[in-house]
Amino acid sequence: MKFSRIAPDLSVSAQLSPQDIGLAAAQGFRSIIINRPDGEASDQTGYQAMVEAATRSGLEARYLPVVSGRVTDADVAEFRKAMSELPAPALAYCRTGTRSTTLWALSQAGHLSTDAILSTAKEAGYDLSGMRSRLDAREAKSGDLPSSAASHEILIVGGGAGGLATASSILKRQPGSDIAVIEPRTEHYYQPGWTLVGGGVFKREQTERQMANVMPKGVQWIRSACAGFDPEHNQVILEDGTRISYKVLIVSPGLKLDWDGVEGLRETLGKNGVTSNYLFDMAPYTWELVQSLKRGRALFTQPPMPIKCAGAPQKAMYLACDAWLRRGFLNNIDVEFHNAGGALFGVADYVPALMKYVDKYGIDLCFNETLVAVDGSSKTAFFDVKDSDGNLSRKTVEFDMMHVCPPQLPLDFVKNSPLANEAGWTDVSGETLQHTRYGNVFGLGDGGSTPNAKTAAAVRKQAPVVAHNVLQILKGNAPNAVYNGYGSCPLTVERGKIVLAEFAYGGTLDPSVPGWVLDGTKPTRAAWFLKEKMLPTIYFDQMLKGIEYLAGPKILPHQPASHEAQDACDFSGPNDKAA
């Protein structure tokens, strides 16, 4: 973990872990300031655990949570007070360190020149130039946000699969386009590979790239977190309060893994036999548990929809069962699949092939059962069971190993924005992926409202649609590329064979190649070869680079642009809403 020094008595950092606290103590820090509110991300350690870690290491700690994008004068006053009361030097942290740096900068306004503050922050790796007007004023009222510091023709929120694939697809169509991507993370992950990490096929390192190495050339990378949206003024609000203006906005930030949605899960995850392939750091533990288990009960859980890759919970189960079968232990292990839904898989055509493996492995299917709590110390799971009349009862199951798929929700800064529908997802058309109310806003990926399977394969088909339609809007035309709801789920039923589920809206089968080449409703070695050998390369070397082989969008006959679509590109004033 990097600690960036910005003053003799203060350094800042991105999110810390309890282990980092010990390192901070060893480097001479005497206090910790926690500026990140609990619950912002699934991989975030709560403040209480951090305070306890600080106490164990002999450091004082203070919790001063600041809402991303809303650094108020009251926050600054509390920060200034903490700095005067806590022993120095102090280490302050938030998600990226930006909020902590912002608090320091505003606390120094009036004592140091604006140029000195901005220069110091930049040397520490934080560009606060968008705050110049607020720093100059020094008397800005609580809650005021700075005016836009920068503008881009195309602004993308999210540097995951959807954001980067769309940026590359736009550049393929129109080189030199003015595109900026807002993304705080420095690593980019090939998440579909984590199933194979948990199955002992991939090494975790194979699924990770540095963000700088996958960011499309010619795109400006804004290394900050998005805190909110102001579509009426064509602006995005960053975590330090800076506003970035746009002509067209693309929203692809992903979703939130709600580890706190299951009581006790966060505390026991990664120990007591509880694991999840939904985390980069946790997938190797899955394989460790599979290798060590020789008898007992293994639970695999699936929460209510929607979730990322609906087949992932049972993929982990099949690969574990195959490993136990090969080693001769499966007869001594009771395997249970606890699914909050009422069916094994949402597309009926693939169920017969999957049921053959359920029978082969002796898996006990437990439908309409939702994991609600875990007691790691006693290795006990608690499920709410719904009967045919909708009545709930509580069921207790002891386990030796449990693979958990967490509940999944919209990100808070999307859910609480004007872009969200009632459920909290970015409200877009299921075909054009254009926002239903703001004509110059598009959304794709896991955070969108489209009723397709939330998979990387879906994003591969969505990105070219958005790229085409964005350029249409910028030309004053109506969007005319359409997405058919395509999704794909390579179901790893055993090591060496996969049921390659490909389907569109309504559960219609939508295979990429003819059935005589590869029948996706049956387990095949060809599909395994595709998953293991070809898909990572297709992802990194084609999809993220705008190569759309077998993924080009369907283009409808051109229609005259509506006044709303034309007005959506008027960058000088508020955005008219699309009909």
Catalytic residues: 309, 489
- CA 334/CA 78 separation, integer angstroms: 55
Residue whose pair of structure tokens reads 């005497």 in the numeric block: 30
- CA 387/CA 384 separation, integer angstroms: 10
Residue whose pair of structure tokens reads 């590109």 in the numeric block: 569
Which amino acid belongs to residue 282? M
Residue 338's beta-bridge partner residues? 301, 366
Q: Can you list the alpha helix ranges (DSSP code H) found in 57-180?
A: 73-85, 98-108, 114-123, 132-137, 161-173
Count Cβ atoms below 10 Å from residue 445 Cβ, excluding itself.
Answer: 30
Residues 6+ apart with CB under 8 A from 533: none
- CA 383/CA 366 separation, integer angstroms: 10
Q: What letter does residue 479 receive in the DSSP assignment? A: P
- CA 342/CA 333 separation, integer angstroms: 24
Bridge-based pairing state of the strands 10-13 and 90-93? parallel
Q: Do residues 165 and 183 lie in contact, with contact meaning Cβ atoms separated by under 8 Å?
A: no
- CA 445/CA 455 separation, integer angstroms: 8
Structure tokens that stand for 478 in this block: 């109506």
Q: Tell me phi and psi for residue 479, to 5 degrees.
A: -65, 135
Nearest alpha carbon to residue 425 among 410, 407, 442: 410
Q: Do residues 420 and 412 lie in contact, with contact meaning Cβ atoms separated by under 8 Å?
A: no
Q: Tell me phi and psi for residue 409, to 5 degrees.
A: -135, 165
The helix/strand/coil state of 258 is coil
Residue whose pair of structure tokens reads 């064509």 in the numeric block: 234
The helix/strand/coil state of 385 is strand
